Amino acid sequence: MKSPERQSPPKSLSSRLSWGLALSLVLLLFVQWLLASYAIRHLTENQVANRLVQDSESLLAGLRFDENGRLQIDTRRISTVYQRPFSGHYFVISSGDEKYVSRSLWDKDLLVPEVNAGVEIRLNMAGPEKQNLLTVTSGYLKQDRLIGIMVAEDLKVFNAGLRQFQWLYGAVSVVILLILLLMQNWIVRSELRPLQSLRASMARLERGETDRVEMTGPAEIAPVIAELNRLLITMSNKARRSREALGNLAHALKTRLAVLQQLSERPEVKALPQVRQPLEESTEAMRRIVERELKRARLIGDALPGQRVNLREEIALLVQTLQLMHAGQPRDLIWHVDDNAQFSGDQEDLLELLGNLLDNAFKWSRKRILLNVADRDGVAFRIEDDGPGCSPGELDQITRRGFRADESKPGSGLGLAIVRDIVESYDGELMLQRSSILGGLAVEVRLPKRQ
């Protein structure tokens, strides 16, 4: 037989909302960091490029060609930054085969792309000393000669400033992220707090302390609670009507069974044993069926579980009743209830369970009966007597409906079967063994705590 797959525990709504919002905030701040870095780089490079174009135009104004057509430049038009070696500011002027290089390049050179007049090319390239250069190459027409002027600037200072901005912006973003995460966590917990109230209300409903779920929560949850309360009312009404119908049916059947029993006692029927015996057997079988179905219907109980029962009070009343019923057979009944022992369920279930067990103990015991109620991760009832007990084979049979180990005692054989049904309805355990203290039968019932 294939074992059922273990279901994974349900995921917390609060955790899923928190993680979803946290990931959204992280993604949002990261994208914002990228956009801010790109915008600053783009604006700064545009500013640098505009300045380089102005320097290029200033150099163009200082250019001329002599009588031999050779390129000449007015050094007064050249800024001092273009004269310090490897200053990070460079220019290269080319016209045909002639080229004029800024002194800042020293013995280095830069490759000037070919451009036409009125064309501007912006490039990033490696410069001297592994510098990262932004270059702007512009094409001009002067004295009918095509001139290409490349002006370059090292972006080292700009890149250092950008990295500093990125680190600062990232640190501020992390602080903002932590603050937002704390705020959203507080908001999520505050908004989900009504669900905790719902859980507490459901627990009270299970313990029988209320008959409906009481909660004022968000508008999204209120319809669910209303439908649940409607369902509880409907189930309660159906269970009540079913019990009433079964009670009426049982009353009618018992009346007819009484008529049949009276009929079997008539002289003319007694004179016909072959008729009387099947009639009595059928009547007894029908009576047992009626009792069994009535007990089963009562075990279904209300749609709501019972309230917490006062064990000492109920057991005291039950013991008193049983002693009156068995007044002709006095028994020494000693009972004890632990302080922490609690039974959360239907009061009638408790009385039916203990009533059947104690009634059997009164019937079969000689003098002594022990009842102990303990707290063992739930509640445990142990009843022992000093009667004859049962053989190992009979211990496996006596909980079967209608089985009687000894026909000399009155009874229907339904008592322990009813006890077994009650225990099973509470997901409990029923154990029968020989008493090590009194020598008779020991019955232990363990009912787990209701979660």
Q: Say if residue 319 is in the same domain as residue 274.
A: no
Q: Are residues 285 and 333 in the same domain?
A: no
Predicted local distance difference test score (pLDDT) of residue 199: 76
Do 36 and 91 belong together in one domain?
Answer: yes
**pLDDT over threshold 80, residue 387:** yes
d(CA 353, CA 291): 15
**Once rounded to an integer, what is the mean pLDDT over residues 21-27?**
87
Residue 413 pLDDT grade (very low, low, confident, very high; cuts 50, 70, 90): very low
The set of residues, in sequence order, having a beta carbon less than 8 Å from that of 19 and lying 6+ positions away, is none
> pLDDT confidence of 409, banded at 50, 70, 90?
very low
Any domain includes 347 = yes
Compute the average pLDDT of residues 48-76: 82
- CA pseudo-torsion sign 193, 195, 199, 202: positive
From 136, 159, 182, give the residue that closes a domain.
159
Give the whole-angstrom CA distance, residue 287 versus residue 104.
119
> First CA to last CA across the chain, in angstroms?
29
Residues 242, 371 within the same domain? no
Instruction: Tell me, yes or no, whether 57 and 34 share the same domain.
Output: yes
Stretch 371-381: mean pLDDT: 89
- As a three-state string, the secondary structure of 13-64 is HHHHHHHHHHHHHHHHHHHHHHHHHHHHHHHHHHHHHHHHHHHHHHHHHCEE
Torsional class of 377: left (φ above 0), alpha (ψ -120 to 50), beta (otherwise): left
Whole-prediction pTM value?
0.45
> Same domain for 288 and 334?
no
Q: In this structure, what CATH number is given to the domain that contains residue 345?
A: 3.30.565.10
Q: Is residue 164 part of a domain?
A: no
Handedness of CA 350, 354, 359, 360 (dihedral sign): positive
Give residue 215's Cα distance to chain centre: 20
State the helix-helix crossing angle for 347-364 and 415-425, rounded to 10 degrees.
150
Average pLDDT over residues 136-148: 86
Lowest mean pLDDT of 171-185, 381-395, 431-445, name the range: 381-395
Tokens of 364: 């079969």
In a domain, 438, yes or no: yes
Q: What is the CATH number of the domain that holds 152?
A: 3.30.450
CA 343, chain centre distance (Å): 29
Say how far apart CA 96 and CA 91 lie, in whole Å.
16
Distances (CA, A) of 384 to 358, 369, 381: 9, 6, 10
Residues 359 and 432 in one domain: yes
pLDDT value at 427 more than 80: yes
- Confidence band for 380, pLDDT divided at 50, 70 and 90: very high
| 87 is a domain residue | yes
Last residue within a domain, chosen from 300, 331, 348: 300
Percentage of the chain beyond pLDDT 90 is 4
pLDDT range class, residue 406, cuts 50, 70, 90? very low
Structure tokens at 394: 């009979």
How much is the pLDDT for 373? 92
In a domain, 81, yes or no: yes
Structural domain boundaries enclosing 270:
225-300
Instruction: Report pLDDT digits (tens) over 290-324.
Output: 766 666 655 555 444 445 778 888 888 888 888 88
Q: In this predicted model, which residue has the larger pLDDT, 3 or 220? A: 220
For 189-340, strand residue ranges (E) read 308-309, 332-337
Q: Which residues pair with 154 in a beta bridge?
A: 133
Mean pLDDT across the stretch 365-370?
88
Whether residues 292 and 351 share a domain: the answer is: no
User: Are 64 and 138 part of one and the same domain?
Assistant: yes
Helix-then-strand count for the chain, H and E: 9, 14
From residue 318, give the alpha-carbon distance in Å to each of 321, 358, 370. Answer: 5, 9, 14
Whether 231 has a pLDDT exceeding 80, the answer reads yes
**Closest to 304 (Cα-Cα) out of 386, 210, 444, 419:** 210
Q: Is the pLDDT of residue 113 over 50?
A: yes
- Segment 369-393 shows an average pLDDT of 85
Residues 251 and 330 in one domain: no
**194 SS3 class:** helix
Do 65 and 135 sit in the same domain of this protein?
yes
pLDDT of residue 4: 47
More confident residue, 246 or 435: 435
Number of domains in the chain: 3
Lowest mean pLDDT among 90-104, 206-220, 261-275, 362-376: 206-220
Based on the fold, state whether residues 48 and 131 are members of the same structural domain: yes
Mean pLDDT in residue range 156-176: 88
